[in-house]
Amino acid sequence: MDLLDQAADIIIKGKFNIALTGAGISVESGIPDFRSKGGLWTRYDPEEYATIEAFRRYPERVWEMIKEMDELLEKAEPNKAHIGLAELERMGLLHGIITQNVDNLHQKAGSKNVIEYHGTSRTLSCIWCGKRYKKEEKKGEYPPKCECGKILKPDIVFFGEPIPADAMSRSFEMAARADTLLVIGTSAVVAPANTIPSIAKRNGAKVIEINKERTWLTDSITDVFLQGSAGEIVDELVKRIKNKIRAE
């Protein structure tokens, strides 16, 4: 039995399967990840562009990077990996997705139970007066300004900002309850998101990792490592699961 069949059997048997996804799941939708060759952090120093301090000090400059990201997000469509996870949810074989991404592609693909661990790019807030806007209200305005005159910040979690409390608690609960965790397209180097695999593992979950490269999880936490592109692997995994259920 090959690794894909092993993974398919684990998912079919699982009573509470969840997924943790990172930027790698959206690369095939045209959004570069952060740490691979050509990734965002190889072109913008996160210390200069992605900390809340950097945003407070020079928001215009940070918006140069966000504008580039925004233009990619506008054009991006869900790929076979997002679509496959939404299908598993419809089949009752995936109970939730904890995503580190802010690209909204899981929701666009039809996934319902999505926890946005690093916030969302769909809304903007004024860190000075607290007013919140929908992204559409400020479409094409760079940098977008609050009515108080200050520059708005997207509601994505910058380094140095806390994880939204409800995302943190819901993710912890799901990880503690999971008997299968799919970890897809993440280098798992950023805390506290990268504690989720250990929480699930400690509670007896089987961990299936899908990544084009090995990560620190692969030889420590991962039970089944499916190496390659997320789109192809998730698509093939869902096909195997459907064939096995039909054959039952």
Note the residues at the interface with ligand APR (CB under 6 A).
22-24, 27-28, 33-36, 39, 100, 118, 185-187, 189-190, 211-213, 215, 229-230
Residue 152 vs 230, nearer CB to ligand APR:
230
d(CA 178, CA 191): 20
To ligand APR, the closest distance from the beta carbon of 2 in angstroms equals 18
Residue 11 vs 146, nearer CB to ligand APR:
11
To ligand APR, the closest distance from the beta carbon of 81 in angstroms equals 7
Cβ partners under 8 Å of residue 52, min gap 6: 127, 158, 159, 160, 161
Task: Compute the Cα dihedral for 70, 39, 114, 152 and give only its sign.
Answer: negative
Length of the chain (residues): 248
Residue 6 vs 36, nearer CB to ligand APR:
36
To ligand APR, the closest distance from the beta carbon of 154 in angstroms equals 12
Residue 45 vs 71, nearer CB to ligand APR:
45
Catalytic site includes residue 118: yes
Residue 31 vs 146, nearer CB to ligand APR:
31
> In this chain, which residue has its C-beta nearest to ligand APR?
24
To ligand APR, the closest distance from the beta carbon of 89 in angstroms equals 20
To ligand APR, the closest distance from the beta carbon of 159 in angstroms equals 7
Count CB atoms within 10 A of the CB of residue 136: 8
To ligand APR, the closest distance from the beta carbon of 245 in angstroms equals 25
Among the listed residues 82, 95, 106, 118, the single catalytic one is 118
Residue 37 vs 246, nearer CB to ligand APR:
37
Q: Phi, psi at residue 42, to the nearest 5°?
A: -85, -10
Catalytic residue numbers? 118
